[in-house]
Amino acid sequence: MAIEKRSSEVWKVLGAVKTEFGKFGDVLAKTRKKLDEARNTIDQAEVRTRQIGRQLVKVESLPAEEASQVWPEELGLPELEDDEA
């Protein structure tokens, strides 16, 4: 009798685990979808960056002093470290 009771409890626990495992799979699928969307967005940004870069090749860079007059540091972007560029 005690073995049957324990067996029943084990089956209930396993049933609950199976339900939760299914939910976990759903969360993983949603996470994968969001990561794929983020990857696609980054890919699109890289394409745009290359397109802009190709156009900017035609533009001559200003010396730093002139550039700072046109684009004051207060309005500027943070400087990138060498490994970020």
83 within a domain of the structure (yes/no): no
70 within a domain of the structure (yes/no): no
Backbone angles phi, psi at 61, to 5 degrees: -75, 145
85 within a domain of the structure (yes/no): no
CA 34 to chain centre: 8
pTM, entire model: 0.57
Instruction: State pLDDT tens for residues 31-60.
Output: 999 999 999 999 999 999 999 999 998 888
Residue type, 43: D
Domain count, the chain: 1
Place of tokens 């073995």: 3
Domain span at 49? 21-54
Separation between Cα atoms, residue 72 and residue 70, nearest integer Å: 6
For 81, residues 6+ apart whose C-beta sits below 8 A from its C-beta are: none
pLDDT of residue 75: 63
